């Protein structure tokens, strides 16, 4: 290379490098911090964020003139919320999550390749607004639910490697996998350092799945199908015996397994069985104006309303089960399961879950832990190379939620953020409202 050209190239590299490494600092001043490391509030302090990472708390550093300052006077700053079970696949749905304070999400299946690859990478780099994205690749043993089918151990091993190569962080196992395919998936996932999460696999059962290393159970009700004895033939409405809750808890604790609390999802499903008018009410709810037209159509045509099943006793059991798991220290993580099920709008569904946990008797500290700190612990365990999140602490991703009240005393404040920081970007309340209006404008159903 000619010296002049080399000099030009190195100058360009220096400038490009400087651009990438530029210290972008944002300061929150006089703010009450809810760090979520333990149940406490650090009153009226300073939080400094540099390049999307929390660099300090409580240190009033002298910063260059022009450093952006967010006045936190009279407000509370906590970690952003995590939606650890959704089916979000579009940039507009990412905006709905963000406007609701969600700064981490786990897509649990049916993401397009473009979403799992291109969109995920762009969002996680901070180029597109949205929560930090993780994705799970769903595999099943037959095509009846429309999932990717894996039948032999060879196929299972190859699938794990392909999922990893395509940027998925998890294999999500589904109901009808064979025992051989599940065993091969679990072994290869362990070898490749990729997490196994998902449903009860009928041919295996939750006890053996957790023993094989499955890190997370994707719905509380999987225990109905894969752990508690099947209800009498034809009685899908009977709840399990409360006396067996202790065994389920012992199993989870023995393996350090996480459970996605989806009380709101199950309750919402139960409420619409045989009731088309309930689905119509979901479609008329204020937040439904942000739904994608395709989701509106799917909701209107959904099958739940066509068959009458009374799941109310199971809904009540689930609340008792979640409360018992929380009391016993089982690591619970929140999931909203939107938008595939009628009644579950991305973002709003997660607040529905936090409220359902509170109604089940969990104190705000526990419900909030399930939406912040515990998802951070889950990812730290299963995707150790991912940046840390879920607490307001130095070195953690600056995923932050600014609210008007102390969320440990008034959790309802979480529904109306004063601002959200995700992937290093700050969005104040007017910006979040603008995001929602932009989504409503493009999605307006004639
Ligand atoms: Zn789901």
Do 308 and 352 form a contact (C-beta atoms < 8 A)? no
CATH superfamily placement of domain 80-387: Metal-dependent hydrolases (3.20.20.140)
Write out the residues surrounding ion ligand 1, Cβ under 5 A: 108, 337
How many angstroms does the Cα of residue 415 sit away from the middle of ligand 1? 22
In the numeric block, which tokens belong to residue 157?
Answer: 């091993």
Confidence band of 401 (pLDDT split at 50, 70, 90): very high
How many angstroms does the Cα of residue 268 sit away from the middle of ligand 1? 13
pLDDT above 90: residue 322: yes
- 391-403: average pLDDT: 97
How many angstroms does the Cα of residue 88 sit away from the middle of ligand 1? 10
How many angstroms does the Cα of residue 41 sit away from the middle of ligand 1? 34
Confidence band of 233 (pLDDT split at 50, 70, 90): low
How many angstroms does the Cα of residue 29 sit away from the middle of ligand 1? 39
- 360-385: average pLDDT: 98
How many angstroms does the Cα of residue 16 sit away from the middle of ligand 1? 41
pLDDT above 90: residue 424: no
How many angstroms does the Cα of residue 335 sit away from the middle of ligand 1? 9
How many angstroms does the Cα of residue 409 sit away from the middle of ligand 1? 30
- 358-387: average pLDDT: 98
What was the pLDDT predicted at 14? 34
Do 80 and 54 form a contact (C-beta atoms < 8 A)? no
How many angstroms does the Cα of residue 339 sit away from the middle of ligand 1? 9
Per-chain mean pLDDT for the chain: 92
How many angstroms does the Cα of residue 85 sit away from the middle of ligand 1? 6
Q: Tell me the per-residue pLDDT of 259-317, one tens digit each, with 9 for 90 and over.
A: 999 999 999 999 999 999 999 999 999 999 999 999 999 999 999 999 888 999 999 99
How many angstroms does the Cα of residue 420 sit away from the middle of ligand 1? 25
Report the percent of the chain where pLDDT is more than 70. Answer: 94
How many angstroms does the Cα of residue 380 sit away from the middle of ligand 1? 22
Do 217 and 223 form a contact (C-beta atoms < 8 A)? yes
pTM above 0.75, yes or no: yes
Q: Tell me the per-residue pLDDT of 147-181, one tens digit each, with 9 for 90 and over.
A: 999 999 999 999 999 999 999 999 999 999 999 99
In the numeric block, which tokens belong to residue 308?
Answer: 């009458």
Per-residue DSSP letter, 12? H
How many angstroms does the Cα of residue 157 sit away from the middle of ligand 1? 24
How many angstroms does the Cα of residue 343 sit away from the middle of ligand 1? 13
- 428-437: average pLDDT: 97
Do 129 and 425 form a contact (C-beta atoms < 8 A)? yes
Q: What is the DSSP string of 85-132?
A: EE---SHHHHHHHHHTTEEEEEE-S---HHIIIIIHHHHHTTSS-S-E
Q: Which residues contact 399 (CB under 8 A, 6 or more apart)?
A: 79, 80, 103, 104, 131, 132, 389, 421, 422, 423
How many angstroms does the Cα of residue 174 sit away from the middle of ligand 1? 11
- 96-119: average pLDDT: 95
Report the percent of the chain where pLDDT is more than 90. Answer: 87
What was the pLDDT predicted at 23? 52
How many angstroms does the Cα of residue 154 sit away from the middle of ligand 1? 27
| CA-closest candidate to residue 185, choices 212, 160, 151, 152 | 160
What was the pLDDT predicted at 237? 85
pLDDT above 50: residue 9: no
How many angstroms does the Cα of residue 32 sit away from the middle of ligand 1? 35
| CA-closest candidate to residue 399, choices 160, 131, 14 | 131
Domain ranges in the chain are 80-387
Site of tokens 């291109």: 118
Q: Tell me the per-residue pLDDT of 335-371, one tens digit each, with 9 for 90 and over.
A: 999 999 999 999 999 999 999 999 999 999 999 999 9
How many angstroms does the Cα of residue 425 sit away from the middle of ligand 1? 28
Q: Based on C-alpha coordinates, what's the Rg of the chain?
A: 23
How many angstroms does the Cα of residue 346 sit away from the middle of ligand 1? 12
How many angstroms does the Cα of residue 123 sit away from the middle of ligand 1? 22
Do 97 and 130 form a contact (C-beta atoms < 8 A)? yes
What was the pLDDT predicted at 63? 85
How many angstroms does the Cα of residue 35 sit away from the middle of ligand 1? 29
How many angstroms does the Cα of residue 326 sit away from the middle of ligand 1? 22
How many angstroms does the Cα of residue 128 sit away from the middle of ligand 1? 24
């Amino acid at each position: 290379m000619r010296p002049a050209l080399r000099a030009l190239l190195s100058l360009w590299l220096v400038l490009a490098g400087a651009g990438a490494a530029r210290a972008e600092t944002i300061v929150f001043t006089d703010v009450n911090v809810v760090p979520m490391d333990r149940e406490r509030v650090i009153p009226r302090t300073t939080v400094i964020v540099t390049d999307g990472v929390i660099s300090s708390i409580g240190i009033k550093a002298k910063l260059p003139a022009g450093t952006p300052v967010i006045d936190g006077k009279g407000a509370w700053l906590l970690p952003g919320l995590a939606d650890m079970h959704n089916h979000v696949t579009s940039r507009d749905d990412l905006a709905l999550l963000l406007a609701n304070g969600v700064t981490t999400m786990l897509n649990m299946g049916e993401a397009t390749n473009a979403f799992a690859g291109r969109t995920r990478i762009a969002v996680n780099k901070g180029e597109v607004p949205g929560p930090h994205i993780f994705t799970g690749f769903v595999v099943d043993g037959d095509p009846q639910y429309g999932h990717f089918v894996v039948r032999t151990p060879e196929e299972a091993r190859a699938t794990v490697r392909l999922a990893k190569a395509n940027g998925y962080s998890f294999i999500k196992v589904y109901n009808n996998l064979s025992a051989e395919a599940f065993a091969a998936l679990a072994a290869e996932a362990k070898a490749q350092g990729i997490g196994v999460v998902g449903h009860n696999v009928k041919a295996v059962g939750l006890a053996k799945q957790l023993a094989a290393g499955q890190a997370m159970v994707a719905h509380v009700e999987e225990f109905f199908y894969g752990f508690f004895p099947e209800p009498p033939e034809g009685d899908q409405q009977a709840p399990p015996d409360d006396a067996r809750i202790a065994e389920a808890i012992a199993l989870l604790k023995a393996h350090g397994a996480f459970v996605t609390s989806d009380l709101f999802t199950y309750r919402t499903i139960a409420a619409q069985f045989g009731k088309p008018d309930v689905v119509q009410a979901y479609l008329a709810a204020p937040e439904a104006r942000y739904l994608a037209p395709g989701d509106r159509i799917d909701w209107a045509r959904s099958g739940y309303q066509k068959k009458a099943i009374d799941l109310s006793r199971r809904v009540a059991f689930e609340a008792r089960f979640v409360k018992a798991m929380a009391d016993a220290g089982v690591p619970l993580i929140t999931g909203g399961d939107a938008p595939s099920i009628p009644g579950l709008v991305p973002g709003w569904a997660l607040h529905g879950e936090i409220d359902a946990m509170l109604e089940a008797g969990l104190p705000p500290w526990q419900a909030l832990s399930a939406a912040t700190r515990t998802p951070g612990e889950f990812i730290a365990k299963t995707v150790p190379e991912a940046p840390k999140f879920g607490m307001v602490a130095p070195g953690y991703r600056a995923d932050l939620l600014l609210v008007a009240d102390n969320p440990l005393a008034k959790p309802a404040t979480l529904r109306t953020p004063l601002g959200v920081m995700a992937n290093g970007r700050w969005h104040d309340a007017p910006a979040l409202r603008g995001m929602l209006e932009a989504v409503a404008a493009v999605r307006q159903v004639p």
